[in-house]
Amino acid sequence: MSTTASTTAAHARALELWGQGRHEDALEAMRGAVLAGLDAEALNDFGVIAAATLGEDAGRAVFDALLALSPGDPDARSNRDALGEAAGPAAGWRRSSTLGGTDADMPERAFPGMPAAAVMREHALRYAFALDLVAGLRVLDLGCGTGYGSEMLSWTAASVRGFDLWTPAAHELPRWGGGAQLAYGHDLCRDELPSADAAVMYEVLEHLADGPAALRRVWRAVDLLVVSFPNPVFHGSHHNPYHVNDWSLERVEGEVADAAAVRFDELELSHWRQDYRDGSAGMLLPGRDPDASYWVLVARGVA
C-alpha cells in the first residue's frame, strides 16, 4: 500500500473512531495519520521563517500545532520556548513601529512606549488632571490618538468615546480594557459629534486646519470643555511641522469663547499652566501665564 493510501486509510479510521465516541483513540489515530505524511523538519523551519516574516504569533501557531502532533519534538519545543508567551491582542498593537506616525524623529501623536518618556508623562499628567472634572460624566476625548488618555478617563467617567482623524492599520488598532469606544477617521473640522456632558481636547487645536469650526462642533455637543494648547514660542510650527496654528493665549481664549457663543450666553473660564522651569516637573498648576510651556483652559458654558 502506498504512503498516500495508508494515510487516507488511517484518516478514515480516525473519523470512524470519532463517530463511535472513542475520542482519545480517534485523537491518536488522527495524529498518526497526519504525522505519516508530514515532514516535521520542514514544518519546524517554516515556523522559524513565519515568526521572522509574519510575526511571532504566526510562529507560535506553527510550533504549537507541531507540538500537539508530536509533544516530544525537541526542535519544536526549543523554537517555541525561544518565542515565549504571546503578548495577546491588547498588547500586540503596541509593537507597531508607526504608532507615532511615519517619522520616528518627530512623532505626530504620543503613544505608549515612545522613546521620549518625558513627553508621554506630560500628556498623561493632563489626563490625570481631568479625572475629577469628568467623574460620572459622558465624555468625548477629541484627538484621542492611541487612546491611552481615553483609557485613563474611563477610570472615573461614566462613559468615554474617543475620536481621531488617524486611521490605524489593522495590526496597530489600539485595544484597551477600560471600555472606551474609539472612532478613527473622524474629522473634527467637518464631522459632527454625539451629545455628551464634557469634552477633553488636549494638544489638538494646533493640528487642525479649521480650529474654530471644530470648536463650534464641540460646543454643540457638550457643556464642559477641557482644552490645552502649546505655547508656540516653544512648540510652534517652526519646531513641529504637524502644528499649523501658532495661536497666542489670547487667541486661544477668544476662539474658545467665540465658538461657545453658538449655544451659551456666558462662559466660565479657569486657567491652568504646565511648565518645567518652575520645578513642578510638569504638574498642572492654577493660574494664567502667557509664558508657560502649555496652557490648559477649563471652560463651562452657561445658558
Q: How many whole angstroms separate alpha carbon 217 and alpha carbon 285?
A: 28
Neighbours of 78 (CB within 10 A): 11
For 127-149, what is the mean pLDDT?
97
The CATH architecture of the domain made up of 94-302 is 3-Layer(aba) Sandwich (3.40)
Three-state secondary structure call for residue 224: strand
Q: Domain 3-89: which topology?
A: 1.25.40
Q: Of 51-60, 146-155, 181-190, give the lowest mean pLDDT range.
A: 51-60
How far, rounded to the nearest angstrom, does the alpha carbon of residue 180 sit from its chain's CA centroid?
Answer: 11
102-134 pLDDT, tens digit per residue, is 888 888 888 888 888 888 999 999 999 999 999
Residue 184 to residue 67: CA distance in whole angstroms: 40
Task: Select from 129, 128, 195, 190 the least CA-distant residue to 159.
Answer: 195
What pLDDT does 84 receive? Answer: 67
With CA atoms as reference, report the closest residue to 6 among 26, 32, 25, 27: 32
Cα–Cα distance between 280 and 167 in angstroms, integer?
35
CATH 3.40.50.150 residue spans of the chain: 94-302
Kindly report, residue by residue over 64-97, the tens digit of the pLDDT.
888 888 888 888 888 888 876 554 544 678 888 8
Task: Return the higher-pLDDT residue of 182 and 58.
Answer: 182
Q: What is the pTM of this model?
A: 0.70
**Average pLDDT score over the chain:** 88
Q: How many CA atoms lie within 13 A of 136 on its CB side?
A: 0
Q: Which residues, in sequence order, are bridge partners of residue 161?
A: 140, 181
pLDDT score, position 196? 98
User: How does DSSP classify residue 262?
Assistant: T
| DSSP character at residue 172 | G
Are 252 and 262 in contact by the 8 Å Cβ rule? The answer is: no
DSSP E strands in the chain: the ranges are 138-142, 159-164, 181-184, 198-201, 224-230, 266-274, 284-286, 294-302
The candidate with the shortest Cα–Cα distance to 101, out of 207, 178, 202, is: 207
Neighbours of 209 (CB within 10 A): 12
Arithmetic mean of pLDDT, 220-238 = 89
Confidence band of 1 (pLDDT split at 50, 70, 90) = very low
Q: What is d(CA 217, CA 254) in angstroms, rounded to the nearest whole number? A: 16
Q: Which of 16-20, 160-164, 237-241 has the lowest mean pLDDT?
A: 237-241
Q: Give the pLDDT of residue 12.
A: 85
Report, as an integer, the average pLDDT of 7-15: 80
Query: What is the tens place of the pLDDT at every residue in 265-282?
Result: 999 999 999 997 777 788
Cα-Cα end-to-end distance for the chain: 89
Comma-separated ranges of CATH 1.25.40 domains in the chain: 3-89
